[in-house]
Structure 1
Amino acid sequence: MNAASAPRAATIDDATEIARLSGQLGYPVDAPVMMERLRCLLPRQDHFIRVVADGPGLLGWIVAERRLSLEAGDSFEITGLVVDRDAHRGGVGSALVAVVADWVRQQGGARLVVRSNVVRAESHPFYERQGFIRIKSQHVYRRDLQAP
């Protein structure tokens, strides 16, 4: 990764590339749907979305959230990070995590959390190299609420 491809704020124009990268992670989404999500999230002060560009394409994206909950108080979490499979080990992911850590510090935060699916074993050493410590494993449950 070179200086020209330093992380920058995401824009609506990134929707197609963000959707493409989301598909690589196993979350396929159409560009118009991603555009609508970005329209909702980009103005929010509690969401931080950055991308690393390579010409017209993206090498990666990250989103972090600031949350307030009864049990934990104010917290910060990386809720999505994707690096193009052809750009792995090129410093893109590290740069994206670093810019989020800076944002958290600027917000007065002292801790950053990331959750990584157990089946994404290749990402676990990456997060450990970024200074994250595994604190627990958990089960995640989903309940569909659509009418039968």
Structure 2
Amino acid sequence: MADAATTLRRARIGDAAELARLSAQLGYPQSADAFERRLRRLLISADHPVIVATDDDARLLGFIAIERRLMLETGERVEIVGLVVDESARRRGIGQSLVDAALDWARGIGVGEVMVRSNVARDQSHPFYEGAGFERIKTQHVYLKRV
């Protein structure tokens, strides 16, 4: 659990620059404008919540982006599609609090599975997810083709 000064809330459009800053720490640098455009679309979707952690309601300590997915072959599940905790705020329980919020959201909408994908290069994330009760179920290659 995060320390008492940390609060979780839904992302707001004014968080776009902070979300971009945090995403860059994970190796995904994007402009604040790009984040704002994407966030505007996500904020109107009931199936794509973004939850942020903050201690002063201005500077973000972390965020988790989740989505409700319906897959033909496996059914419905929630997927954690982004989780970042600020480099200066790690090891304070913020990541676990964000994951707990995602699990609570999944339970609240009646979905019984939460999945997360973690790049093999992210050595610190693997023990984190295993410690949070996630089980590794497969290893895969990811392919991309630009169209």
Question: What range describes the TM-score normalised by the shorter chain of this pair?
Answer: over 0.9
Greater Cα offset, 17-26 or 53-62: 53-62
CA separation in 2, counterparts of 1:60 and 1:142? 27
Query: Structure 2 length normalisation: TM-score?
Result: 0.95
Q: Which moved more, 1:130-139 or 1:3-12?
A: 3-12
Which sections of structure 2, spanning at least 5 residues, go unmatched? none
Residues in 1 aligned to 2:137 and 2:71: alpha-carbon distance in whole angstroms: 19
Unaligned ranges ≥5, structure 1:
none
Return the alpha-carbon distance in structure 2 between the equivalents of residues 135 and 72 of structure 1: 13
- Per-residue CA deviations over 1:66-123 (Å, capped at 9, x if unaligned) read 0112111111100000000111111110000000100000111111100000000111
One-letter amino acid of the counterpart of residue 46, structure 2? Q
Please provide the CA RMSD for this pair: 0.9
Distance across 2 between alignment mates of 1:69 and 1:135 = 17
Q: How do 1:2-13 residues align onto structure 2 when only pairs under 5 Å count?
A: 2-13=3-14
TM-score (norm 1): 0.94
Counterpart of 1:24 in structure 2: which amino acid? Q
Question: Who is 1:102 aligned against?
Answer: 104
Task: Report matched runs for 1:124-135 at 5 Å.
Answer: 124-135=126-137
Structure 1 segments of 4+ aligned residues over 4 angstroms from their partners: none
Aligned to 2:140: 138
Whole-angstrom distance in 2 between the partners of 1:143 and 1:45: 29
Distance in 2 between residues matched to 1:16 and 1:54, nearest whole Å: 17
Q: Distance in 2 between matches of 1:34 and 1:24?
A: 14
Give, as a single letter, the amino acid of the residue that structure 2 aligns with 1:129.
Answer: G
SS where residue 97 of structure 1 aligns?
Answer: helix
Query: What is the aligned-residue identity percentage?
Result: 52
1:80-99 matches, cutoff 5 A = 80-99=82-101
Partner of 1:40: 41
Match of 2:31 in 1: 30
1:113 maps to a residue whose letter is M
* Per-residue deviation, 1:3: 3.0
For 2:42, the aligned partner's letter is L
Task: Judge conservation of contact 1:6–1:95 (CA < 8 Å) in 2.
Answer: no
C-alpha separation in 2, matches of 1:4 and 1:104: 25
| Matched residues, number | 145
